[in-house]
Amino acid sequence: MAMAGLSAAEKSFQMQLQMKRNTEEMSSFLKDMSDWTRDVNQKDDNLKTTSKPNSALPPVRAQPKPRKKKKKQVTIQESIEKCEIETGGDRKGGKIRGYDYRAWDKFDVDAAIKEIDGDANKVRIEEEIREEEEEEEDGRIWFGFGGKAD
């Protein structure tokens, strides 16, 4: 409604009429909302009070076994210590002193790196194989294909 051509009394009357309509519309909306809330609460109470047929449910399927903790990654230092133990202890005579430059010139760094990497790779491959075997066993147990069933 255009209020440009109306007098002040008519504008006031139109504003009051619009406010009354807004109030009626708002009260109607709130009444509908409270009715809906009451209905939902009644349905919720009915569902809570009805007995639950727990005994009619099938048993829970087999649960997978909890996984074993993974071993920590083998560090280079641990790998070196393991090599020293396997090759005869501390290698007291095999250590090269920092000031013995001629011994360092003869030292084959590439061979030492390959030896360390080879041991680390063996450990890593063994861990991967063990994890795969555990996963396969868990799968057999989970799906009931033999293995160790609980």
The answer to whether 141 touches 62, Cβ cutoff 8 Å, is yes
Residue 141 has pLDDT above 50, yes or no: yes
DSSP string, 52-84: P-GGGSPPPPPPPPPPPPPPPPPPHHHHHHHHH
Residue 89 has pLDDT above 50, yes or no: no
Report pLDDT for 142. Answer: 67
pLDDT digits (tens, 9 = 90+) for 11-68: 999 999 999 999 999 999 999 999 999 999 999 999 888 866 666 666 677 766 777 7
Give the integer Cα–Cα distance in Å for 41 and 144.
Answer: 44
Task: Mention every residue, 6+ apart, whose C-beta is less than 8 A from residue 61.
Answer: none
Predicted structure pTM score: 0.31
The answer to whether 85 touches 78, Cβ cutoff 8 Å, is no
Q: What's the chain's average pLDDT?
A: 77
Higher-confidence residue: 80 or 34? 34
